[in-house]
Structures are given as C-alpha cells and as structure tokens.
Amino acid sequence: MKTTSKKLLSVLLAVLMLATTAIPSFAMSDIAWDLVWEGEDAEAGIIMFVGSDETERNFSWYSDTQSEPYVKIAKDVLMLSSSTFKGTSVAAPDGDYANKVTVSGLEEGTTYFYQCVSGDYTSAVYSFKTESGTDFSAMYVTDVHITQNDDTKENSLKETSYRFSETYEAALSQNSDISLILSTGDQATEGLESEYKAYTASPLFKSVSISTAIGNHDRKGVAYKTFTNMPNEDTETSVSSYVGKDYWFVKGDVLFLIMDSNNGNGADHAAFIERAIEANPDVKWRVMVCHHDLYSGRIPHRESENKLLRMIWGPIADEYGIDLVLLGHSHYYTVTNVLYNNKNVTDFAPEMVDPAGTVYMVSCSLGRPRDDEEIGLNEWVGFDYLTENATYNVLDFTKDSITVNSYELGEDEPFNSYTITKTTNNGGHQETGALQSLWNGFVRGCGKIYALFNNIGVYSDLKEDGYDVDFFDCVFGK
C-alpha cells in the first residue's frame, strides 16, 4: 500500500474511532472491514492490554525495524498537550520486533487519546476511557481461535478475525459500557504471529482493555511470548511455561488472577496467588481466569487429564476464596453448582448469595462452537447449554455482585443469566483445614515435578516445528 493511501486510511480510522466513542455499537460494513484489514495499524497489531490497575494500560505492537517505541497520550483529540511514555523493543520470532509500552498515572473517569509510535510508524489516533468507582462491565469470550492455516473461507484468518470483532459489536449493543475483554485462551490456533496480529485487527479493540489467558494452542508456537505485555507477571516461579506466566490486575473491587493452566506447577501457582492477595488484601472479589475446562466432563476422553487438573485447581480456588472461575478449552457451555473440595455444596441458581465455595463457568468457543460430539456431563454441572453458534458473555461487576448474561451471537435475549452476591468481603467462603493443606502441598509439589517433564516435551515439540529455543529456557520457563 502506498504511503499516501496509508495516511488517508489512518485518518479514516481516526474518524471511525471517534464515531465509535460516540456510538459504541456502530456496525462495521464489509468495505470498512476490508479497509481495516488492509490498514497499517492491523499490520502492526496494536493491542491495549490491561495495566496493573485502572491507572495503567499496557500496549504492544509489531514493527519491521527496531527503535525505541513510545505511546503519545493526551486528553484532547488534537493531542496538543500530550505526554510520552517510552518502552522497549524485542526481536519477535518471525523477524519483526515487538514493541511494549506501559502508560501509567491515568486519572479516573477520563477519556484519553493515544498514538503508538516506533521508527517512522505512527498509528491513527485512538481513544479509551478510564473507569471510576467499583462498577464496570466486561465481555468474556473463549477459544477465539484466530486461524492462519485453514483454507476454507469461513475459517480464514480474515474471517476468524472478523468474527471476533463482530462478537464484540454484539456485546456492545447489549451493554455499551463494556471496558474490559476477558479472553480465556486459544486466542490463536497455531500460535503464530500472523494470528495474534489478526486477533487485534478490529479498531473497536483499540478502545478496550484486553486480558488474555494462555491456552494450549497459544503455546504451539512461541509468538505469544512476544505478543503479550502483561502487568504483575510472576517473576518468582522456578518452573513455568516458556511462553506464558501467571499475572494479576485489579479493576473496580475485583482482583483478577490470570493463570496458566498448561503449567501443572501447583506449588508456584498457589504461591503466586498468595502474593497477589497479600498485595491486594482489601479487594473484595477474586476472579480466577484460566484455560482448561475442569468440571464439565463434556469431552469424556479428556477426563483423566481433567481429574489431575481438578486436584490442582479445585483446592487452590477453595483455599484462596475464589468467587468465580472463568474457563474454556472444551468449547461447550456449562456452569457448575457451587463447589468446595471438588464436591457440590449448593445447586446452581439464578441468584446465589454468599456461596460457600466457587462457581466455575466454561463459555462455548467463539470461533469453533461444538454441539455434536462427545457430550458427556459430570455431576458438578448446574447449568448446561448446547449450541452451534458463537457465544459471548457480558459480566456486570458492582461492589456487592457479579451478574453474568450469556448470549448466542445474533440473539438479543440471554440464554442464561445468574448473579453471585456477597454481603461481606469474605462472603460464605470456608477455611481450609490443616490436613487438607498438607495434602494440597504434596499434590502441588508433584505438579511441579510433572510440569518440568511436560516442559521437556514442549521443548522437543518446538524444536521439531523448527523453533530456535534454548533447552533450559524452555524447561524452566525463562
């Protein structure tokens, strides 16, 4: 594309974004999507990840040359009084450079305009608004599966990217106040840089914070490592995945714990959560986000693996008083009863007040919904729903409640709605007994040893696929 055309497109995108700020649910036409797809900013793959809290945002984008990247940010659309935040540029596996910048010191309830700059590249002007107080809304989706190597039109890179954008448009039409996207793994299908760029392509995503959990498909390659720019990553773990780390952030009155469930090292996962809670002792809600479906039993041949995962993650959720766990992987929609110690405590209900345990939810895949194979169902599931359609969820957080509304793409009415309410900071959570703690420590230690051997397998898979990775970096997750 010629430089003049790129500049024109940049201006057009800026206008589109400003229109989006005013009318969040604008529908993107095929022509608009073609323009977006061919644009310089889609090629750069700009994404605005969550920051440590509402005063920060973490940016990431690609460039073909290395330079000191920066984000220019201002409260006025003409960017007359802008500030500059500098970052770092690291080599990405496909020959590009990944630019990462953290913007801090943001004020509550304020609209900001920004541009990403690296070398001779300057993005269009985008905008976002920070929240104030405890109330906010999020879209939760899973298994977006942006796909590079599928020749069918409906699953092409461009189409899977569009479906993600279209789903967010639908969510905005339900609730125009959404300010966070929670994406619980398998963002990409092959773990390729091209897929992560396509994941970011929609201009709508430039105005919303995104938090991704790593899925098993995201570690098929190594691009996820350079794509992400997450706050509060676990730097103390001794055995983790090569491409993903646990991290946390706070929004409103919620501590989000984003965990790598590919990594069976329960000992380090638990220690990380403990540190995150110590750093945020007064935050009322705890939401854990990870990829693997733990309880549904929808795919019976995975149940031996799930049994091991439940031994790790169930007691972690119990011990640290996790209110809600958001999952993916199976591509089937289920919500559990309230669980404690891997047992039903109370039945799932549209209203759950001070539950004495944790609710685990799996959303249907956005990119690859399943309803036609291996439909087992475990006794822990309190609500299940089968659909061939893409599915998304709108979560409304307040000081005292989390309300979930689940939709099929194209439908106006939710097919499931429920609310969890807590009347005190602790709600109905129970203490873990001394004997149980001892057993948990033993299981988590075994998980650490398992993770070491599992990482050796990942190393040999990556080498087989032609990736230039260091053995020790891969096994210990450096």
Contact positions toward Fe ion, by CB under 5 A?
143, 186, 215-216, 329
Distance (Å, whole) CA 117 – CA 174: 34
Looking at beta carbons only, is 143 or 408 nearer to Fe ion? 143
Looking at beta carbons only, is 131 or 384 nearer to Fe ion? 384
Q: What is the CA radius of gyration of the chain?
A: 21
Looking at beta carbons only, is 70 or 333 nearer to Fe ion? 333
- Least separation in angstroms between residue 375's CB and Fe ion is 16
Looking at beta carbons only, is 29 or 152 nearer to Fe ion? 152
- Least separation in angstroms between residue 264's CB and Fe ion is 15
- Least separation in angstroms between residue 374's CB and Fe ion is 14
Distance (Å, whole) CA 198 – CA 44: 10
Q: Copy the structure tokens of residue 418.
A: 């429920």
Residue whose CB is nearest to Fe ion in the complex, by number: 186
Q: With contact defined as beta carbons under 8 Å apart, do 390 and 367 qualify? A: yes
- Least separation in angstroms between residue 262's CB and Fe ion is 9
- Least separation in angstroms between residue 196's CB and Fe ion is 15
Looking at beta carbons only, is 221 or 231 nearer to Fe ion? 221
- Least separation in angstroms between residue 84's CB and Fe ion is 39
Cross-strand partners of 98: 62, 90
Could you identify the residue written with the tokens 């039993």?
297
Looking at beta carbons only, is 51 or 215 nearer to Fe ion? 215
Helix (H, G, I), strand (E, B) or coil at 183: strand
Looking at beta carbons only, is 14 or 259 nearer to Fe ion? 259
DSSP of 244-313: ---EEEEETTEEEEE--TT---HHHHHHHHHHHHHHSTT--EEEEE-SS--S---SGGGHHHHHHHHHHH
Helix, strand, coil proportions of the chain in percent (round to 5)? 30, 25, 40
Residues across the chain: 478
Q: With contact defined as beta carbons under 8 Å apart, do 48 and 74 qualify? A: no
The single-letter DSSP state of residue 16 is: H
φ, ψ for residue 335, nearest 5 deg: -130, 135
- Least separation in angstroms between residue 217's CB and Fe ion is 6
Of the candidates 190, 127, 140, 184, the one whose C-alpha atom is nearest the C-alpha of residue 160 is 190
Q: Copy the structure tokens of residue 9.
A: 């497109």
Looking at beta carbons only, is 143 or 319 nearer to Fe ion? 143
Parallel/antiparallel/unpaired status of strands 324-327 and 359-362: parallel
Distance (Å, whole) CA 357 – CA 278: 21
Of the candidates 64, 199, 73, the one whose C-alpha atom is nearest the C-alpha of residue 126 is 73
- Least separation in angstroms between residue 143's CB and Fe ion is 4
Looking at beta carbons only, is 251 or 292 nearer to Fe ion? 292
Looking at beta carbons only, is 215 or 477 nearer to Fe ion? 215
Looking at beta carbons only, is 142 or 440 nearer to Fe ion? 142
Q: With contact defined as beta carbons under 8 Å apart, do 150 and 188 qualify? A: no
Per-residue b or e along 243-270, where b marks 16 or more CB atoms closer than 10 Å to that residue's CB: bbbbbbbbbbbbbbbbbbbbbbbbbbbb
Q: With contact defined as beta carbons under 8 Å apart, do 272 and 246 qualify? A: yes
Of the candidates 356, 144, 402, the one whose C-alpha atom is nearest the C-alpha of residue 256 is 402
- Least separation in angstroms between residue 336's CB and Fe ion is 19
- Least separation in angstroms between residue 218's CB and Fe ion is 9
- Least separation in angstroms between residue 477's CB and Fe ion is 19
Cα 346 to its chain centre, rounded Å, is 29
- Least separation in angstroms between residue 393's CB and Fe ion is 16
Parallel/antiparallel/unpaired status of strands 285-289 and 324-327: parallel
Looking at beta carbons only, is 72 or 292 nearer to Fe ion? 292
